[in-house]
Homo-oligomer: A and B are copies of this chain.
């Protein structure tokens, strides 16, 4: 099967997405290394995909390193370790990294590629649904800091992104389902047709039907590619991708980054944003129900922390906070979102109290 090709950017910053079942087995056709030499960095959870990449690049890997793939290993020390190993292996400026794994692996390896020898090429092979639909696309790399997520990093687009939905076959059920949240998010903010198609196929997607999953992942990747093309350095338009992330980040942090997967926290954040969207963006109850219904079928997800005090202290630290409130993304209708520059923190806290994904909204006493 011929994969779909989507180009982002131009010149030495061009990033090409290759999307289709089987692209991993033809990796050598799509991965880019000016020297033909590779530095493969993969996660334990992505051994099968890493094996397929390794088989394709053959004996030309000068480094083959396995790293952890959890949010707590997304640190500057992990980047330093990869850089040390690359330098010890004799890395040159025309060699290329290949990152095989979830969002942590692509973020960390991409950041190492950005700073080794002041920047060498890299390739992303996302093996999670969230990575395929979102995280590996757009050139943002980085690590967390004790004071916040993604506070250190670089814009350094991968030369190639190989998206092979078959890599998701091996995912644990919980990871698979939480990753789907980000894929659906891409549809909901910008593509009504894709939303309708994917919504009608939730059962097939959950059963990991190749065709249904490919359609969703490809559509979400197209949405992401179009948005980052318009705003490569995150100066404005790209903010729309944060749908569900204002409260999502707060829910995730309130759970210590342990109780909820990122996608699960975003699911709660989206559900809460639907409430604010009904009040502020004219979202119809019918559209809100459609989105909530999909989220419910992707779950059930663990309950988030709803404490006003906890969430408030997290929200006011948000990078997007101003005196007037928090910028946030609202849904006008399925397939159409917009950024609202200033939503009072209390509205978010109110939505966090009310939100429910059990089919019945919690009502305050």
Contact = CB atoms under 8 A, between A and B. Distances in A.
Q: Which residue among A92, A114, A115 has the maximum number of chain B CB atoms within 10 Å of its CB? A: A115
A250 interface: no
B116 A151 contact: yes
B118 A83 contact: no
Contacts of A12: 233
A257 interface: no
A118 B153 contact: yes
Given A76-B80, A147-B88, A119 B152 contact: no
Interface string A238-259: 0000000000000000000000
As for how many copies of this chain the complex holds, the number is: 2
A154 to B, nearest CB: 6
A154 B115 contact: yes
B153 A115 contact: yes
A117 B154 contact: no
A165 interface: no
Nearest to A112: B152
A154 B152 contact: no
Contacts of A119: 154-155
A181 B142 CA distance: 39
Interface string A60-83: 000000000000000010001001
Contacts of A147: 87-88
Interface of A: 12, 76, 80, 83-84, 87-88, 92-93, 111, 114-119, 140-142, 145, 147-148, 150-155, 233-234, 319
Given A92-B319, A117-B151, A118-B234, 16 more contacts: A12-B233, A76-B80, A83-B152, A87-B147, A87-B151, A111-B115, A115-B153, A115-B154, A116-B152, A117-B152, A117-B153, A118-B142, A118-B153, A118-B154, A119-B155, A154-B154
